[in-house]
């Protein structure tokens, strides 16, 4: 049973769940020159790592019955995820694409580079694709779970949280892992 607050926020959750991925996809077609934001990948990777840690602490808090701390930590995790998204978009609209395995940074994968990284390229791309797909899926899950919590619909919040939590943790940790794997190839 939805509360009035859940009904009120439902259209916003739907709109945000559709618009955010579309904006991110559209922004990948935009390139803005004149800004050096090459410092951002370790920053937004750290935000992903912080999100994972905060989520773990939030679960510990609620299991100990500390609802207020749980709420504050979840709000902080949402903020970290939002800051990650802003940093990620900012970096990608201002910086040339980095190729996994491009050791000499010439923008091409030469035969020796392909051979050297052939075994890890598959792992990298599988991780990257799963991270991207789940980062899109996690948007409505987080928003629905969050709204159920602030609306006081704790039974439903708990059920949604059991689905949302492992996926959100995976997205956060896989984001850090993807960064660690591609970071040697940044210029």
- The mean of the pLDDT values for the chain is 94
Rg (CA), the chain: 19
pLDDT tens digit sequence for 129-154: 999 999 999 999 999 999 999 999 99
Query: Of 136, 160, 172, 165, which is closest to residue 44 (Cα–Cα)?
Result: 172
Q: Domain residues of the chain, as ranges?
A: 4-185
Check residue 156 and give its pLDDT. 96
Check residue 142 and give its pLDDT. 98
Q: Domain 4-185: which topology?
A: 1.20.120
The structure tokens listed for 163 are 């689905």
| Full-model pTM | 0.91
Confidence of residue 165 (pLDDT cuts 50, 70, 90): very high
pLDDT tens digit sequence for 77-128: 999 999 999 999 999 999 988 999 999 989 888 999 988 998 899 999 999 9
Q: With contact defined as beta carbons under 8 Å apart, do 57 and 73 qualify?
A: yes
pLDDT tens digit sequence for 14-61: 999 999 999 999 988 899 999 999 999 999 999 999 999 999 999 999
Check residue 84 and give its pLDDT. 96
Q: What does DSSP assign to residue 31?
A: -
């Amino acid at each position: 049973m939805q509360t009035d607050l859940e009904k009120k926020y439902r259209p916003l959750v739907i709109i945000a769940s559709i618009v955010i991925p579309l904006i991110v996809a559209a922004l990948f077609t935009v390139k803005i020159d004149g800004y050096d934001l090459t410092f951002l990948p370790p920053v937004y990777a750290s935000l992903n790592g912080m999100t994972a840690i905060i989520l773990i602490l939030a679960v510990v808090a609620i299991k100990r019955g500390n609802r207020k701390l749980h709420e504050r930590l979840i709000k902080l995790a949402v903020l970290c995820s939002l800051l990650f998204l802003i940093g990620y978009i900012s970096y990608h609209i201002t910086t040339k694409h980095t190729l996994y395995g491009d050791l000499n940074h010439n923008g091409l994968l030469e035969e020796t580079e392909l051979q050297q990284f052939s075994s890890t390229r598959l792992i990298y791309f599988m991780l990257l694709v799963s991270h991207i797909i789940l980062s899109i899926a996690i948007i409505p899950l987080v928003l629905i779970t969050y709204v159920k919590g602030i609306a006081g619909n704790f039974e439903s919040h708990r059920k949604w949280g059991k689905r949302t939590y492992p996926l959100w943790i995976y997205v956060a940790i896989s984001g850090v892992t993807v960064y660690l794997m591609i970071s040697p190839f940044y210029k």
